[in-house]
Amino acid sequence: MWQDRAKTQTFLLHVTKKKRSHGELSGKIETVTHEKFVCEGMVDYQYLAANQYTERANDPLDVRLRTYLEASTQDDLELIPEVFSRVDLPLKYEFKQRPMYNETQTPSSDLKQVPRHFFTYANFRSNSPVPQEVQRLPKTRGIPLHMEEHVMGLLKEKLAERPIWMRPK
């Protein structure tokens, strides 16, 4: 289970009202819990099978699988989503999220940009090109490239003479 356990002090309150008297309520605390399980994003999605699948839950495996073989349309198959993720933006759900997408020059029915957001929905079952991420410069941490090559060369020479695992602690 993809859940985080958290401490809490929660109770279940059972409230009853008598039918004949108006406004007279009584309540009692049924139970107190000291921990809860918190889900994030797509983990909140729960797979609830249709009655035809739950009725055969205790049957042998071949009988349970026969239920899926008898499906006539794709809507009859109630399958669990292919990816459960702890992040709020699930993977493989008809979109790619990249903040640095290039704007598409020609509008396409397969690519849809959401205004004021940084993601593009793409239908991956089509042949139209998907926008690519902007090419970024290599990370040099502010060191000029020629100096970085010189320093890396010196380090390689030193490590060739005496590797790290042979040095005293």
* pLDDT tens profile 42-69: 544 555 566 666 777 788 888 877 777 7
Beta strands in the chain (DSSP E): 4-17, 25-38, 95-96, 111-113, 120-122
User: Are both 53 and 31 inside the same structural domain?
Assistant: no
CA distance 154 to 160: 10
User: Are both 36 and 53 inside the same structural domain?
Assistant: no
Point out the least confidently predicted range of 83-92, 100-109, 157-166.
83-92
- What was the pLDDT predicted at 93? 43
Stronger pLDDT, 107 or 77, i.e. the higher one: 77
Stronger pLDDT, 36 or 122, i.e. the higher one: 36
Mean of pLDDT values over 23-39: 82
User: Are both 31 and 51 inside the same structural domain?
Assistant: no
- What was the pLDDT predicted at 65? 77
Within-domain flag for 169: no
Residue 169's pLDDT band (boundaries 50, 70, 90)?
Answer: low
Strand 25-38 vs strand 111-113: parallel, antiparallel, or unpaired?
unpaired
Within-domain flag for 120: yes
User: Are both 102 and 125 inside the same structural domain?
Assistant: yes
- What was the pLDDT predicted at 3? 62
User: Are both 56 and 35 inside the same structural domain?
Assistant: no
State what percent of residues in the chain have pLDDT above 90.
0
CA distance 144 to 3: 46
Which domain covers residue 54, as residue numbers?
A: 46-80
Within-domain flag for 144: no
User: Are both 70 and 98 inside the same structural domain?
Assistant: no
Within-domain flag for 158: no
32 touches 9 (CB < 8 A): yes
How many domains does the chain fold into?
Answer: 3
Nearest CA among 102, 104, 94 for reference residue 124: 94
| Beta bridge partners of residue 12, listed in sequence order | 31
Whether residue 90 is predicted with pLDDT greater than 60 in this model: the reply is no
Within-domain flag for 154: no
Within-domain flag for 156: no
Q: What is the mean pLDDT of the chain?
A: 68
User: Are both 53 and 76 inside the same structural domain?
Assistant: yes
Mean of pLDDT values over 89-116: 52
φ, ψ (nearest 5 deg) of residue 38? -110, 130
Within-domain flag for 143: no
Whether residue 115 is predicted with pLDDT greater than 80 in this model: the reply is no
Within-domain flag for 33: yes
